[in-house]
């Protein structure tokens, strides 16, 4: 989705003649039936993929927002859904979500950067095994190990501490993510060794090496693990469910489906909650869109 | 190889130094090693506590009849046999495979169509692509809530309303035993296709424009152009991604749980929801753990298999 600014000279000189060969389907840049067809199809696609969001936002601000009367513009604009949402404690759930997402993401990125530094810039015995274990954690998402994980969260082996009911019960498990470590170490491998050697001759220690020499060169990869990590944490559903002691510990995404089953809560409140849960991911996406695209496409070529 | 590459020589240098001044060399080595493992400690601790201990614990539980107050009884592979002979688990397996394949292939086809339609560099196309990507960014649980509203099963529900314009009768969607699974598949395609679109768009930019041009000179139709130039160029990047997505879909949980919870009448029960209703609602932890271990083994084998195949292909 990044806009490429490279323009071949041939196209610049005679745009209309060669533009037909710019896309696989040969869309024409001139006004005509070809372009009209493309516009119609684009509008249709926009309706399918983006209008549901508009409908939800409109419903959240509508006085009479029952599913059967949903429209693209609120008939009578009101904030009362959000006031009712506040009474249901939705802001508290949102706060839970934000704390978990912020803390979890920070931990995850720190852990990944540290581990990737060792795995990519160093050579040591057992490295291949450690990398294999890292890749294996990708095969063990919260869903698959959910039942024993919930037991572990209730009583950490050897330590005898119960995490359940605290935000740490969600933050700590998302701290380890093989994908993020993998992306980071693949990127760090590409940094030429000469830079590191020059710094080492100046007597730079390991921590300064990582934070002042290596990390500044890793900004693109940091963006990628930042947005993918955020989406991963924000998407958590089962983990906050099993990590909670009582419903007040739920994150917003989990609380939504609880609210839906509560018959005393109207659909307007649910829609307001959905909007509240959408906004943070929307903001992060708009800020880190470039990183998102980079992450997807690099994953595609590397498998 | 007669020319000595610079890198090994440089790495050899400290080793030589270590021989002449052993004490100093050893200290730096040990310091290095300490640093290496120190950096790995956070990942190791978290991985141990929240991935590997639960995994081992899950395998252990799968061999026991778990009773909270009476004590666990070792039952060998009984739990596995119970999973594999349970009719509802087998039904869930069928639903899982059908759902996984439909979602993966559907998301590929729709993603491909989207990419073909929205390929280009103009600002308006970029804005449109950004808007269309929203379903991917939104949390699955929220996507589920949105679609529960769109799927409202009365005749004046949002989607039924639109269907009535083209003369299709009101559908039950998530409430009907015939339609529920397909309704979930549509949601999966809707939230997965834009992701594939981005992958395919990246592949499309890599297609040599002069091939299109010469195909045009040769009088090839658009269809021939797609079939013989575009598709072959895209294939390598897509196949692996798709296979991995299909394998991942075996453990899909959130969308099914939020949309239907496995109902109505078990018509959308998948492996994960079946496992969870056993493990958390009926407290049959031994059997649920056996189901989890089976899922883990199958996904592990499939993933390693795909990677090996891909690597062998790459070597060729």
Give yes or no for A84 touching B (CB within 8 A).
no
pLDDT single digits (tens) B203-250:
888 888 888 888 888 888 888 888 888 888 888 767 877 887 888 888
Interface test with B, best of A8, A52, A273 (most B CBs within 10 A): A52
Topology of domain B86-315, CATH: MetI-like fold (1.10.3720)
B138 touching chain A per CB within 8 A: yes
Q: Does A112 touch chain B (CB under 8 A)?
A: yes
Say if the Cβ atoms of B54 and A27 lie within 8 Å.
no
pLDDT band of residue B27 (cuts 50, 70, 90) is: low
A201 and chain B in contact, CB less than 8 A: no
Q: Identify which of B49, B253, B292 has the shortest CB distance to residue A156.
A: B49
CB contact under 8 A, A114 and B39: yes
Report the mean per-residue pLDDT for chain A.
84
Confidence band, pLDDT 50/70/90 cuts, at residue A267: confident
Given the candidates 3.40.50.300, 3.30.70.1290, 1.10.3720.10, 3.40.640.10, the CATH classification of the domain at A84-302 is 1.10.3720.10
Confirm or reject contact between B119 and chain A (CB < 8 A).
yes
pTM, whole model, 2 decimals? 0.86
Average per-residue pLDDT in chain B? 83
Angular region, A91: left φ>0, alpha ψ -120 to 50, beta rest = alpha
State the ipTM, two decimals.
0.84
Residue A300: closest C-alpha in chain B: B237
Q: Are A256 and B141 an interchain contact pair (Cβ–Cβ within 8 Å)?
A: yes
Q: Which residues of B touch A285 (CB under 8 A)?
A: 133-134, 137
- B312 and chain A: CB distance < 8 Å anywhere? no
Q: Name the residue in chain A with its Cα closest to that of B300.
A: A139
Residues β-bridged to residue B73? B65
Looking at residue A265, its pLDDT comes to 77
List chain B domain ranges. Answer: 86-315
Residues in chain A: 303
Q: Does B118 touch chain A (CB under 8 A)?
A: yes
Nearest to B273 by CA among B255, B287, B285, B286: B255
Chain B contact for A243 (CB, 8 A cutoff): no
Contact between chains at B254 and A235 (C-beta distance less than 8 A): yes
DSSP string, chain B: --SPPHHHHHHHHHHHHHHHSHHHHHHHHHHHHHHHHHHHHHHHHHHIIIIIHHHHHHHHHTTEE--TTT--EE-TTHHHHHHHH-HHHHHHHHHHHHHHHHHHHHHHHHHHHHHHHH-S--HHHHHHHHHHTHHHHS-HHHHHHHHHHHT--STTSHHHHHHHHTTPPP--GGGSTTTHHHHHHHHHHHHHHHHHHHHHHHHHHTS-HHHHHHHHHTT--HHHHIIIIIHHHHHHHHHHHHHHHHHHGGG--HHHHHHTTT-STTTT--HHHHHHIIIIIS--HHHHHHHHHHHHHHHHHHHHHHHHHHHHHHH-
CB contact under 8 A, B292 and A152: no
Please check the confidence at residue A10 and state whether its pLDDT lies above 60. Answer: no
pLDDT at A115: 95
Taking residues B32-61, report their average pLDDT.
Answer: 91
Residues A231, B137: C-beta atoms closer than 8 Å: yes
Each domain of chain A, given as residue ranges in start order, spans 10-78, 84-302
Query: Which has more pLDDT, B179 or A265?
Result: B179
Task: Give the one of A50, A176, A273 whose C-beta lies nearest to B51's C-beta.
Answer: A176
Of A49, A147, A152, the CB nearest to B134: A49
Q: Pick from A66-75, A204-213, B4-13, B26-35 the range whose average pLDDT is largest.
A: A204-213
pLDDT tens column, B276-290: 989 888 888 999 999
Q: Does A162 touch chain B (CB under 8 A)?
A: no
Residues of B in contact with A46 (CB under 8 A): 128, 131-132
What pLDDT, on the 0 to 100 scale, is given for residue A270?
A: 87
Nearest CA to A239 out of A247, A225, A250, A228 is that of A250
| Cβ neighbours of B10 in A, within 8 Å | 197
What does each C-alpha distance from A62 to A69, A249, B174 come to in angstroms? 10, 29, 25
Residue B313 has pLDDT above 80, yes or no: no
């Amino acid at each position: 989705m990044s806009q490429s600014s490279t323009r071949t000279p041939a196209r610049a000189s005679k745009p209309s003649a060669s533009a037909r060969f710019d896309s696989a389907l040969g869309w024409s840049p001139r006004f005509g039936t070809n372009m009209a067809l493309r516009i119609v199809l684009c509008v249709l696609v926009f309706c399918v993929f983006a209008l549901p969001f508009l409908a939800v936002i409109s419903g959240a601000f509508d006085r009479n927002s029952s599913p059967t009367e949903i429209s693209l513009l609120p008939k009578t604009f009101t904030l009362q859904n959000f006031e009712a949402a506040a009474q249901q404690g939705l802001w508290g759930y949102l706060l839970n979500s934000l704390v978990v997402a912020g803390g979890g993401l920070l931990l995850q990125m720190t852990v990944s950067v540290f581990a990737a530094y060792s795995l990519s810039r160093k050579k040591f015995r057992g490295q291949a095994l450690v990398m294999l274990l890292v890749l294996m954690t990708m095969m063990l998402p919260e869903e698959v190990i959910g039942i024993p994980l919930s037991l572990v969260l209730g009583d950490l082996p050897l330590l005898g501490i119960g995490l359940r009911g605290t935000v740490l019960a969600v933050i700590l498990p998302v701290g380890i993510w093989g994908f993020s470590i993998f992306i980071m170490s693949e990127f760090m491998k590409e940094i030429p060794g000469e830079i590191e050697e020059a710094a080492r001759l100046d007597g730079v220690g390991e921590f300064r090496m990582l934070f002042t020499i290596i990390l500044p060169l890793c900004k693109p990869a940091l963006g990628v693990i930042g947005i993918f990590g955020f989406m991963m944490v924000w998407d958590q559903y089962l983990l906050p469910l099993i990590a909670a002691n009582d419903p007040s510990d739920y994150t917003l995404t989990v609380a939504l489906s609880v609210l839906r089953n509560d018959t005393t809560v109207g659909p307007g409140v649910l829609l307001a909650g959905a909007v509240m849960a959408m906004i943070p991911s929307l903001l992060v996406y708009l800020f880190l869109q470039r990183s998102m695209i980079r992450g997807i496409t690099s994953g595609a070529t590397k498998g | 190889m007669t020319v000595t590459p610079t890198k090994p020589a440089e790495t050899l240098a400290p080793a030589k130094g270590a021989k002449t001044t052993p004490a100093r060399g050893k200290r730096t080595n040990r310091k290095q090693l300490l640093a290496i493992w120190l950096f790995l400690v956070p990942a190791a601790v978290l991985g141990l506590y929240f991935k590997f201990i639960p995994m081992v614990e899950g395998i252990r539980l799968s061999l026991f009849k778990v009773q909270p107050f009476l004590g666990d009884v070792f039952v060998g592979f009984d739990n596995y046999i119970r999973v594999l002979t349970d009719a509802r688990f087998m039904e869930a397996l069928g639903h899982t495979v059908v759902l996984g394949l439909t979602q993966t292939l559907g998301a590929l086809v729709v993603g491909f169509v989207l990419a073909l339609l929205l390929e280009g560099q103009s600002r308006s196309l970029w804005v449109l692509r950004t808007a269309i990507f929203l379903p991917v960014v939104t949390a699955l649980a929220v996507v589920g809530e949105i679609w529960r509203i769109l799927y409202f099963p009365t005749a004046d529900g949002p989607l039924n309303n639109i269907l009535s314009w083209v003369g299709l009768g009101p559908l039950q969607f998530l409430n009907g035993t015939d339609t529920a699974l397909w309704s979930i598949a549509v949601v999966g395609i809707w939230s997965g296709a834009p992701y594939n679109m981005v992958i395919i768009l990246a592949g499309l930019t890599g297609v040599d424009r002069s091939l299109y041009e010469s195909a045009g000179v040769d009088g090839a139709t658009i269809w021939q152009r797609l079939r013989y130039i575009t598709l072959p160029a895209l294939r390598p990047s897509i196949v692996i991604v798709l296979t991995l997505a299909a394998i991942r879909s075996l453990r899909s949980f959130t969308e099914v749980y939020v949309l239907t919870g496995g109902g109505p009448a078990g018509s959308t029960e998948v492996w994960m929801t079946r496992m969870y209703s056993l493990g958390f609602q009926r407290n049959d932890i031994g059997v649920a753990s056996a189901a989890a271990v089976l899922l883990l083994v199958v996904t592990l084998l499939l993933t390693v298999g795909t990677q090996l195949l891909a690597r062998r292909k790459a070597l060729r």
